[in-house]
Amino acid sequence: MRYYDQHLHTYFSPDSSETFENYLDQSDLPVVTTEHLDFFSPAQAMPNVIPDYTGYVQKLDQLNAQYDNRLLKGIEVGFTYADRHRIEDFLADKTYDIQLLSIHHNGRHGFMTLNHDTKSLNTHLDEYFDLMLEAVNHAPYANVLAHFDFGLRGYDNVQLTDLERKEGTLTQIFNKMIEQDQALELNTRSMYRYNNAHLYDYAIALYTQLGGKLFTVSSDAHVAADYQLHFTDAYAMLRRHNVQHLATYQNQTIQLVDLPN
C-alpha cells in the first residue's frame, strides 16, 4: 500500500466547501476526510459543530460505488475536558477509520484568534500544552494527535527556545501517546503555511528519542488544491530523523507503509 493524505475536509465541515470528488480526482489513492467535531461553552455563544454522520455515510456509500471503494471515514475531534462525555457519547455508535485529536479552544476563545498582542506567548504555551496533556490523558480513542502546534499558528516567529521551555510537558504528552499507540501528525499546512517546520523538526526528535515510532503526514486541506501539500518536504524531514515508515488507518487498525521518496 502507498501512503495517502489522512487529514482532509469537505463541505461536511463548516470551514470548507470542498467536494469529495475533487479530492478523488487528484490521484488513485484512498481518500479519507476528517470532518470536525467541536463543542463550545455557553460563554463562547457559538453553535456546536456536530458532523452529519448519517448523511456522511450515505454520501460515501454513493461515491464508493463509483470510485472503487476508495473513500474512508474520518473525524477530527476537538477535545475539551468539559465536553469529554459528549464526545464519547457521539463516538460510541459511530465507526470511523481514523480519529484525529485536536485542541482548538479553551472554552473561552479559539486559539487561532490569539497572537502576541492578545496574550503573551509564554502564558499561552503554559495553558495550551497543559490542555493537550489533558486531552491525550482522556482520549485513548484517538489514533493521531493532529497539528500539535495549532495553538501557535497565530504567533509570529515562535522559536525553538520557546518550545524547549515546555519540554517537560511535551515529554509527558509524547510518553502518553506512545503508551496508547497514538501517532504524531506532521501537519504540512502548519509547517509550510504557518512557517512552523522548525517546531516539527524539534517534536520529531523528542518523540523518537522517547521511543515514538508512529507518524502521519497530512495536509489539513480544506480545498483540493492543498491536497498533499509539501509532502515531499515533510518526507525529507522524517528521513533526516531515520524514520522509515508511516502509519495508515483503516477500521482504526494501524498498517505501516514505507516512507515515500
> What is the tens place of the pLDDT at every residue in 122-174?
999 999 999 999 999 999 999 999 999 999 999 999 999 999 999 999 999 99
- How far is Cα of residue 67 from the mean position of the Cα atoms in its chain? 25
pLDDT digits (tens, 9 = 90+) for 191-208: 999 999 999 999 999 999
Residue partners of 89: CB distance under 8 A and separation at least 6: none
Q: What is the pLDDT of residues 73-89, one digit of tens each?
A: 999 999 999 999 999 99
CATH class of 20-258: alpha beta
151 close to 190: Cβ distance less than 8 angstroms: no
Over the chain, what is the mean pLDDT?
A: 97
Q: What pLDDT, on a 0 to 100 scale, did the predictor assign at position 115?
A: 84
Q: pTM to 2 decimals? A: 0.97
Q: What is the pLDDT, as a whole number, of residue 206?
A: 99
Record the cell numbers describing residue 113, joined without a space. Answer: 484568534
Distance CA 151, CA 180 (A): 23
**What is the model's pLDDT at position 43?**
87
* Res. 93 pLDDT band, cuts 50 70 90: very high
Q: How far apart are CA 57 and CA 100, in angstroms?
A: 18
Which residue ranges make up each domain of the chain?
20-258
pLDDT in tens, 214-248: 999 999 999 999 999 999 999 999 999 999 999 99
Say which amino acid occupies 214.
L
